[in-house]
Amino acid sequence: MVGISMLGQAALIPELLYTYETAITGFAAKLTTRQFESLSNIDGFLFGNLDGIRIPHTTYSPHFLGLDSGKGLWNGSHLGSDVIIGVVDTGIWPEHPSFHDSGLSRVPSRWKGTCEKGFNFSSSNCNKKLIGARFYLKGYEATYGRIDEKYKFRSARDSDGHGAHTAAGNVVPDANLFVLAQGVASGITYIF
């Protein structure tokens, strides 16, 4: 097994939430501390991680890393063309200019994903740039309760503005959040 996620202390009976087998082999489960310790003593166990709320970083990552559009490592044209990138994030805002697909070729035939329907998100929100989107709520809801739909979406749609520039988003000049932090927003992706 490659990964496990421990989600809180309240469970008496372990509760399997997700299994993973595409990019890694592992699962997410709701376990007590004792259950987690018992599992970690099994031969072959590699890693366990306590789930928690993470704070998204900003659009300043490319600048922080010394990456400027059209210069240095980013001076090539069609960078990452015909590359499928998988991202785990707070969600996506598909109407944002970062995800316009004009001039892009069709979705690679090897793509096996989906554009999962949810609250205020349908398959028509995907295009040749944003070729798929899914959402995973069980871990969050097992720990914190049902998502409050007044503030968050029960879908792949972002509710806090972070998903506007994720990963391979286009370079968008004059980006801002309520007129704050104005500048250029662009996604950044690491290809290994």
Q: Mean pLDDT over all residues of the chain?
A: 75
Dihedral (Cα; 159, 165, 168, 173), 10-degree rounding: 150
Number of structural domains (the chain) is 2
20-30: per-residue pLDDT in tens? 887 778 888 88
Q: From residue 17, give the alpha-carbon distance in Å to each of 4, 7, 36, 50, 140.
A: 11, 10, 15, 14, 10
Q: Tell me: do 150 and 172 sit in the same domain.
A: yes
Most confident of 8-22, 33-47, 58-72, 93-107: 33-47
The pLDDT tens digits for 121-149 are 999 999 998 889 998 888 888 888 898 88
Among 33-47, 106-120, 147-161, 165-179, name the one with the lowest average pLDDT.
165-179
Same structural domain, 71 and 46: no
Residues 188 and 149 in one domain: yes
The sign one gets for the Cα dihedral 157, 105, 172, 76 is: positive
Q: Are the CB atoms for 139 and 73 separated by under 8 Å?
A: no
Domain housing 40: 3-50
Indicate if 19 and 99 belong to the same structural domain: no
What's the predicted TM-score (pTM) here? Answer: 0.56
